[in-house]
Amino acid sequence: HASEKVKHIRKVLREIDKPFGLYPNFLSPTSGNWVQHHVSVGGLGDSFYEYLIKSWLMSAKTDMEAKNMYYEALEAIETYLVNVSPGGLTYIAEWRGGILDHKMGHLACFSGGMIALGADDAKEDKRAYYRELAAQITRTCHESYARSDTKLGPEAFWFNSGREAVATQLSESYYILRPEVVESYMYLWRQTHDPIYREWGWEVVMALEKHCRTEAGFSGIQDVYSSNPNHDNRQQSFFLAETLKYLYLLFSEDNVLSLEDWVFNTEAHPLPVNRSDSFSIAGHPH
């Protein structure tokens, strides 16, 4: 039975020894041990954390195991990965066997929205802290856009030697229509209604129009730091599924796909909050 398999995987992950409470990205299916100690809230790690808090919300707040695993993981992240740059930007670093890479991937920028989404159900004395942390991470991700010539953000950006929130090599300077930054703007807008998030979203709309629109659709660009960037001639499917959807929701009323009733999976497909008592994927709490 599928749900039993899922529960078993989660049980293994809950009980396995974790370095400082962090979850490395790779687990061997044969040995059940971590393959290496690389931890990231960006690619490879991102959806795992997101699905813990979202499993809790989708279960109409009955899946206590998911809730507890999420907040424990978040405490480890804030303790070991969250940093503030000399210029005052809060970011989530990557962790390689205890050594930090002071970089953040575009994919990790979804985490502002995730932390905002999870702030309401945190311990009471941490709620304000998580709301502020979500706002600060989202601000940093906006800076990665604001500090480029195109006002679109790079695939990854670093915090080192006086240069902050910028890519350090051409191989990380591309933008492929990714949604994570506008995803966080949408969640932060829904939670705070601070008009800055709509202003930032509109900056993205104008930059997409200016640099990514083609006769046939929208294209990624090869270098966000070029004032006249080359197109990569690809319109990624997540541009329609996520980027445009989150922008649309950012400028919609809160009752359009209300976050009370819908949970977005990691590809922005809306899944209903499961309020039926007769059947729950999460099972009933013990």
**What is the C-alpha to C-alpha distance for residues 37 and 97, in angstroms, rounded to an integer?**
5
**What CA–CA distances, in Å, run from 266 to 25, 27, 45, 114, 282?**
17, 20, 12, 11, 18
Catalytic member of 155, 164, 180, 183: 155
Residue 266 counted as an annotated binding residue: yes
Is residue 94 annotated as a catalytic residue, yes or no?
no
Strand partners, 218: 213
Strands 217-218 and 82-84, how do they pair? unpaired
Residue 220 token pair = 């990624």
Pick from 152, 231, 249: nearest CA to 191: 249
Could you list the residues known to form a binding site, using ranges.
Answer: 266
Could you list the residues known to form a binding site for Ca(2+), using ranges.
Answer: 266
Q: Which residues are catalytic?
A: 155
